[in-house]
Chain A
Amino acid sequence: MADDKDVLRDVWFGRIPTCFALYQDEVTEKEAEPFYLLLPRVSYLTLVTDKVKKHFLKAVKPEDVEEMWFEYEGTPLKWHYPIGVLFDLHALNTALPWSITVHFKNFPERDLLHCLSNSVIEAHFMSCIKEADALKHKSQVINDMQKKDHKQLWMGLQNDKFDQFWAMNRKLMEYPTEEGGFRYIPFRIYQTMSDRPFIQKLFRPASPEGHTHTLGDLLKEMYPAAIAHDGDAKKYQVLIQGIEPLLETPLQWLSEHLSHPDNFLHVCILPVPTD
């Protein structure tokens, strides 16, 4: 399809306008101005907030500075989820910009992973890619790549280089023609209403009889409540990359085009706003 590449670009260059503000109790020296930034949806919070840190450090007493973390309306934001997922899950139906509170103290050990350097993000990102390829190709593609190829995937994400990333990621999205798709679709389903972090199971892109599985088929299996039955009012929004794809969309296509750079299809299910 001619516009498939545009889809990839749109996914990659999605940005969320964000307003960072320092947590009130931590302001000591002087009033810190809020900091405005366009956050890339496919990146990670801790990877793109160097400037935020620099900006607020000026307003905080050096002895009070611990690891920086972010919170939105009382929920600590897990940096190891892609930014787009955090936004869709927590703030999709609120007014923009997205207001994030910045903390330098009282790191919520129970909720968040530490992230003291970019190498932690890199390790997390690469392990996701490897897990995804284990599902897609029994790890064959990722294992055939050289160290520098792995590096290229990471560098592409870190430096926001679409072409660099996709030159390599393309290989991860290939599959034998005769099989018609990946072995299993790497996906994660997130919900706000549950304590479970996410749903992740084995699911093939097509049924044994050869029928193409769609997004609807996936939800039927994993989260039947998300599908509105005829006549019922829609109760849940099913979001991927901030959009609600039709349930008839083939899962394989979604996996190839709407996955995050970590090669997972991140699906957010939230209740339809009541107002």
Chain B
Amino acid sequence: MPVSLLWAVDVRGRVYRLSTGGQQWEQCHDTKLEFKRVTAATQCCWGIACDHNIYLNVHASDLSIRYQEETYENQRWNPVDGFSERLLPSDRWQWSDVAGLVHQPLDSFDLPSSGWEWEADWYADENFEAEPTEKGGWTYAMDFPATYTKDKKWNSCVRRRRWLRYRRYKARDSWAKVGGQGDISCGGWEISEEPRGRLSLWAVSLQGKVWYREGIQHHNPEGSSWTEVPVPGEVVQISCGPGELVWAVLWEGQLVVREGIGRDCPSGTAWTVVDSPSTVGATGVAVGVNVVWAVTKDNKVWFRRGVNSHNPCGTGWIGMVGEMIMVNVGLNDQVWALGSAERGLYQRQGVTASELSGKAWRALNAHVGDPGHAPDPALDNAPLPPLAYLSDDAPPPNARSVPKVTSDSFISELLSDRPGAGGPSAAGLPAQEEDGQPGGPLWSNVDLEETQSHLSSVVTYSLALEEEPYGEDGPPMWAWVSGGGCAVDSHSQLNWFSGPGATGGGLNSVSFCPSLSPSVQLGQRSKREMENFKHYEQSVWVKKGTMQWWRDWKPHKWVDVRFALEQFSGPDGNKDGILFLYYNFNEEKKYLHAFVNEVTIFVPVLNDAKHTFAIYTAERTKQRWPIRLAASTELEMHDWLALLSVSCCDSRGIQGPPSKQAIWSVTCRGDIFVSEPSPALEALPYPTPCEQMFWRQVGGHLRLVEGNSVGVVWGIGYDHTAWVHTGGYGGGIFQGLASSTDNIHTQTDVKSVYIYENQRWNPVSGYTNRGLPTDRYMWSDASGLHECTKTHTTTPSPHWTWVSDWAVDYGVSEGTDREGWQYAADFPASYHGYKTLKDFVRRRRWARKCKLTTTGPWQEVPPIALSDVSILPCAAQSSVEVVPLWAISNKGDVLCRLGVTTLTPAGSSWLHVGTDQAFKSVSIGGASQVWAIARDGSVFFRGSVSTCNPAGECWYHIPSPPKQKLKQVSVGRTSICAVDENGNLWYRKDVTPSYPQGSSWEHISDNVRKVSVGPLDQVWIIADKVQGSHGLSCGTVCHRLGVQPLDPKGQSWDYGIGVRALAIPPTDPEGANGSAGGC
């Protein structure tokens, strides 16, 4: 579970954070400010200070927030000066934007706020359409505006080049002033698919008006401007969920719901009024993705029934148990609340997607960390001297007066009530009462403005019943809480509650006569009962079941079979087993068997309809025809897989964690496999054939795994989370079975399931969901062959649970129109994101996220999400201390990990390596050669990377192979291989220590999906279209044979595991690294 933060403000205005990994509240440093409210998102927190200004606190990160400013320099040729800045009167400006319409000289760019700083000066961009221009970045054309080329021709009359400059957001982990308001709420980060950072920030002014902050996104965390959103009344509080839900409370106690919020209109279109849950009127509201909670003046808590994306207003209120003064809904619709009696903080227990209202309130009893106990400088400098009023001997003159307070004027309420010990306060006193307050400084920055804006008497409450004055040592009294950045769910293990203790106590308290202790007696028992009977057969464990088998003979189809595993222990204690598969062939009973110690892998296979797995032996790998079985349920399949895998490891005597030299791979289902390399794997001239490699499964779920030969293994999940191998083994389906007890952690992954909505145009009604009889299903998968409706599409397996609703996916590579449609002349054809006259069909993609929770020997490396990672593939026994590790963030930033060693494989921090564009692949090889590929296909070599200079100096742009765009690169000791988008494998020629860039690309092979070059220049690939006995297979792991120092390209391929073409390929190894001693 990633560590995230719960934010809260105590009644003294101090802001605290509680980490999901910790047990103590930690005071937010740096602040001389006192806060009234905070609203948190994952990456930042907004707050309103007592000076009524809004402040933003962006969490520090190794990844800087950078914004690229660009402008174009335009020149025209004339016979006298050649190319010069003298343009024709009809031309564009000499400095302009890309379209030439805006005048943009270099000095016209200013920093947007004091939170920004320039990174460096302006420079010209050398990269043009993935190729280096090597001419100062100039691109040529006949005239503006036209097509530019990088080569100057006889008719090139104009030229231009792009200038770049970066600014960086520097105000991190501190409060940056943004503007003044009265209440705020942020959310909306799930409205569009933009990368994390886009937020909707809603604010309420002291006058009760609602404002929306425009332009908040990753590159602009502060946003750009406020827009007023007209409201039907005076608003006192507003709440914004991660999705399209925005609710606000009106001064009169009703609630309003914002409608029409969507991707194109994040601030919505209209308000709908919803009545208060009870006659006393609401004082607070909190919304999540699909949930609305409210509190009323009598401190009752209400849950809104029937809220969903189609009906943001819901259908009715349900009263909940408990008295709270405020509620807040955080991530995963988890609910946080402040108790009305003691201002303690509560979490709602048991809130799940199916039971959004949860079960019960549970008090957090995390302690306030040390900074809270120390004398607080902020308080000393504070404009109000609260301590004076906490002592009994200095009652304020108006001690017995009862302030009518808004829910956030807690300080005044506390201070005035404290010494008085007056009776319960009454609601609804005239607002003017405060006007005569003598304690000017005491009230000034909290309440007077509230009074002006008539926000009083919304919540009244008295602290007078409390016996003890609020002191530094008492439990914190909270004023506001925000869970918007706190990624917990109902299963999270938190140390915030007083939990059950561990098993304690042994026999220590009793002294035994040693010979009579239970363990000695048990030993004697075993000796007595078993010593003379060792030759007896151990029990045979038989597990039987029924399954379906993809039969060997044609026509191939699933047939019911009986399946049994017989396990036995030999006289020497070795366990072994035989698999039996009983089937009928022409009315005759037959069986198939396999010795467990001959099986090379049990692998779950992706299949929409069945829970299938494949069993390979060396022979069956050669034939590319495994035993394919389907269990009736996922659970049953996992039971079998766990048992079979353990039995297989037992018979091969494999136990414990994978070795440091292990070869790791993941299947396209996300399952992780590891194989121990035998010394003969790279032996010359006859290496161990691939089909004899034994693969065992390890718990967890990853999209990509990379390892090196000193045991540093990293993985990346489908949700781009980075994980590092803990050195443990097991987890997942092996939990407890063949699993280490420590080093196994919870792992989650999130991916999207896609379905397509298809429509055909007809002259009468335009585009409708009535297709031709020959058309595909109107709701289908990508191929159109299978019907996939919203209601009937299920998660990939029962272990995945839906975490969002169906939403139109605009992130399709070919682009879409505003409603997400892509058009084409007919099914199936190539689609484009705009409508033309020739288009008769259209489709759009719907996505729904699902989440898997499993366990495995993996620990998260927060907080930056990654898309690629590469580790220096050290040769075994090398004494390299720090292991260079490079990665690409999911936004395309190139990163270098510092502090990675065998003892601390997770490393310490990221070093951001500046680039002009987003990247997609990186690889580091021998002698610290770093190669990387940008999203536009440009290939770069990073110069001067060394142990002392881990991030290197500068990028060298390398030309791509002719007419091909590379997509992945892998660097070995000296070899560099790359794969392009058409599946060709390329080898970089003439790479020498003095000229590491090499000279040109040489074609080796086609039908390659992915390449990995080992530390000894071993080449492993995932190949498609490999010939097998029953047809072609995809996703086969292959090993290049004949790779030698003098012949680094090798001779031919040796094919390993992989399944026939009809099945979706099961294996997709990423990080192959061997440890052979051969070369």
Contact yes or no, A96 B525, CB < 8 A: no
Contact A164 B737 (CB under 8 A): yes
Docked Cα-Cα span, A1 to B525, in Å, equals: 21
Shortest Cβ distance from residue B797 to the other chain A in the assembled complex, whole angstroms = 13
Contact of B529 among A14, A159, A246 (CB under 8 A): A14
Q: Is the interface of A mostly helix, strand, loop or mixed?
A: mixed
Across-interface contacts of B540 in A (CB, < 8 A): 50-51
Q: Could you tell me if B525 and A37 are in contact, using CB atoms closer than 8 angstroms?
A: no
Chain A positions within 8 Å of B992 at CB level:
none
- Minimal Cβ-Cβ distance residue in A for B525: A242
Binds A, one of B22-30, B203-211, B497-505, B674-682: B497-505
Q: Are A177 and B502 in contact (CB under 8 A)?
A: yes
A32 near B: Cβ within 8 Å?
A: no
Q: 1/0 contact trace for A258-269 toward B, CB 8 Å?
A: 100000000000
Known: A96-B532, A253-B507. Is A10-B522 also a contact (CB below 8 A)?
Answer: yes
- Minimum Cβ distance to chain B for residue A132 (Å): 15
Q: Are A212 and B526 in contact (CB under 8 A)?
A: no
A233 to chain B, nearest CB (A): 19
Which of B506, B536, B642, B741 makes the CB contact (< 8 A) with A37? B536
Quick check: is A163 within 8 A (CB to CB) of the other chain?
yes
What's the Cα separation between A158 and B539 when bound, in Å? 11
Report the minimum CB–CB distance from A204 to chain B (whole Å). Answer: 15
CB nearest to B537 among chain A residues: A37
Q: What's the minimum C-beta distance from B274 to chain A, rounded to whole angstroms?
A: 37
A259 and B509 CA atoms in complex are apart in Å by 20
A161 located at the interface, meaning its Cβ lies under 8 Å from any Cβ of chain B in the complex: yes
Contact with A along B724-742 (1 / 0, CB 8 A): 0000000000011111010
- Contact A151 B635, CB 8 Å, known A15-B529, A246-B512: yes
Taking the complex as formed, is B44 at the interface, i.e. its CB lies under 8 A from any CB of chain A? no
Known: A11-B522, A164-B737. A1 touches B635 (CB 8 A): no
CB–CB A170/B738 < 8 A: no
* Nearest-CB residue, chain B, relative to A39: B539
| Complex: chain A residue closest to B491, CB-CB | A146
* Bound Cα distance from A261 to B635, whole angstroms: 23
A225 within 8 A of B: no
Whether, in the assembled complex, A148 has its beta carbon less than 8 Å from a beta carbon of chain B, the answer is yes
Give the shortest distance, in Å, between B739 (CB) and chain A (any CB): 7
B380 at interface (Cβ–Cβ under 8 A)?
Answer: no
Residues in A neighbouring B735, C-beta threshold 8 A: 152, 164, 167
Quick one: given A1-B508, A36-B536, are A161 and B519 in contact (CB under 8 Å)? no
With contacts A37-B537, A161-B646 taken as known, whether A17 is within 8 angstroms of B530 at the C-beta atoms is yes
What total of chain B residues lie within 8 Å of the partner, measured CB to CB? 46
Tell me which of A4, A212, A246 contacts B509 (CB under 8 A).
Answer: A212
Q: Are B508 and A17 in contact (CB under 8 A)?
A: no
Q: Which residues of A contact B538 (CB under 8 A)?
A: 15, 37-38
Among B505, B509, B524, find the residue whose CB has the most chain A CB atoms closer than 10 A: B505
Q: How far is the CA of A180 from the CA of B542 in the complex (A)?
A: 41
Query: Would you call B521 and A253 a contact (CB within 8 A)?
Result: no
Please give, as numbers and ranges, the residues of chain B lying within 8 Å of A166 by CB-CB distance: 736
Contacts of B738 in A (CB 8 A): 163-164
Cβ contact of B737, chosen from A161, A244, A248, cutoff 8 A? A161
For the complex, is B79 an interface residue (Cβ under 8 Å from A)? no
Q: Render B512-546 as a binary contact track against A, CB cut-off 8 A, 1 for contact.
A: 11001011011111100110110011111111000
Q: Is A99 an interface residue (CB 8 A)?
A: no
B643 close to chain A: CB less than 8 A = yes
Is A242 a contact partner of B529 (Cβ separation < 8 A)?
A: yes
Q: Does B510 sit at the interface, judged by CB under 8 A?
A: yes
Rounded to whole angstroms, the CA-CA distance of A168 and B639 in the bound complex is: 16
Say yes or no: A7 contacts B503, CB within 8 Å: no
A4 to chain B, nearest CB (A): 6
A28 CB–B CB distance under 8 Å: no
Contact between A38 and B530 (Cβ–Cβ < 8 Å)?
Answer: yes
Q: Contact: A50 with B542, CB < 8 Å?
A: yes
Tell me the nearest residue of chain B to A148, going by C-beta: B635
Give the shortest distance, in Å, between A47 (CB) and chain B (any CB).
9
Please tell me if the beta carbons of B533 and A38 are within 8 angstroms of each other in the complex. yes
**Bound Cα distance from A263 to B110, whole angstroms:** 72
With CB as the reference atom, state the residue of chain A lying closest to B643: A159
Q: Give the CA-CA distance A1 to B510 in the complex, in Å.
A: 12
Contacts of B529 in A (CB 8 A): 14-17, 96, 242
CB proximity of B571 to chain A, nearest CB, Å: 12
Q: Are A159's CB and B541's CB within 8 A? A: yes
CA distance A39 to B529 in the complex (A): 11
Chain B residues in 8 Å Cβ range of A254? 518
Residues facing B in A17-38 (CB within 8 A) are 17-18, 36-38
Give chain A interface residues in 41-55, CB to chain B under 8 Å.
43, 48-51
A133 interface residue per 8 A CB criterion: no
CB A259 to nearest CB in B, in angstroms, measures 12
CA distance A15 to B527 in the complex (A): 10
Partner pick for B505 among A151, A243, A249, A252, CB 8 A cutoff: A252
Q: What B residues does A241 contact at CB under 8 A?
A: 522, 525
- With a cutoff of 8 Å between Cβ atoms, the chain B residues found around residue A164 in the complex are 735-739
A175 CB within 8 Å of chain B = yes
Partner of B518, one of A163, A167, A249, A252: A249
Output the least CB separation between B213 and chain A (Å). Answer: 43
- CB neighbours (8 Å) of B506 from chain A are 1, 4, 253
| Residues of chain A contacted by B635 (CB below 8 angstroms) | 147-148, 151
B507–A38 touching, CB < 8 Å: no
**Cβ of A250 < 8 Å from any Cβ of B?**
yes
A162-190 Cβ-contact flags toward B at 8 Å (1 or 0): 01111110100111111011000000000
Contact B541 A174 (CB under 8 A): no
Cα separation A161 to B567 with both chains bound (whole Å) = 12
Please tell me if the beta carbons of A151 and B639 are within 8 angstroms of each other in the complex: yes
Check A257 for interface membership: any CB of B closer than 8 A: yes
Considering the complex, give the chain B residue whose CB is closest to the CB of A177.
Answer: B501
A246–B521 Cα gap in the complex (Å)?
10
Inter-subunit contact B522/A167 (CB<8 Å):
no
A36-B537, A174-B500, A250-B510 known; A3 and B737 CB under 8 Å? no
| CB-defined contacts of B567 to chain A, threshold 8 Å | 159
C-alpha gap A212/B508 in the complex (Å): 13
With A175-B501, A177-B504, A250-B510 as given contacts, are A10 and B526 in contact (CB-CB < 8 Å)?
yes
Measured CA separation A257–B540 after assembly (Å): 26
A176, B501: Cβ atoms closer than 8 Å: yes
Taking CB atoms, residues of chain A closer than 8 Å to B516 are: 246
Chain A residues near B509 (CB-CB < 8 A): 212, 250
Q: How far is the CA of A4 from the CA of B540 in the complex (A)?
A: 28
Contact check, B539 vs A48: say whether CB atoms are below 8 A apart.
yes
Cα A10 to Cα B523 with chains together (Å): 7
Bound-complex Cα distance A131 to B735 (A): 24
The residue on B at minimum CB distance from A179 is: B501
A14-B525, A243-B525 known; A163 and B737 CB under 8 Å? yes
Q: Per a CB cutoff under 8 Å, which of B501, B513, B519 touches A3?
A: B519
Q: Is A224 an interface residue (CB 8 A)?
A: no
Give the chain B neighbours of A252 by CB distance below 8 A.
505
Indicate whether A256 reaches chain B with its CB closer than 8 angstroms: yes
Chain B min CB distance to A142 (Å) = 14
Q: Is A245 an interface residue (CB 8 A)?
A: yes
Contact yes or no, A253 B543, CB < 8 A: no
Smallest beta-carbon distance A31→chain B, Å = 20
| 5 A-B pairs in the complex with CB atoms less than 8 angstroms apart | A50-B542, A159-B567, A243-B522, A250-B510, A254-B518
The 8 closest A-B pairs by CB, nearest first: A167-B736, A177-B501, A17-B533, A1-B506, A243-B521, A10-B522, A164-B737, A164-B736
Identify the A interface with B (CB < 8 A).
1, 3-4, 6-7, 10-11, 13-18, 36-40, 43, 48-51, 96-97, 147-148, 151-152, 155-156, 158-161, 163-168, 170, 173-178, 180-181, 212, 241-246, 248-250, 252-254, 256-258
**Additional 5 contacts, C-beta under 8 A, given A3-B519, A253-B510:** A15-B529, A176-B500, A177-B502, A241-B522, A250-B510
Chain B residues proximal to chain A, CB less than 8 Å: 500-510, 512-513, 516, 518-519, 521-526, 529-530, 532-533, 536-543, 567, 635, 639, 642-643, 646, 735-739, 741
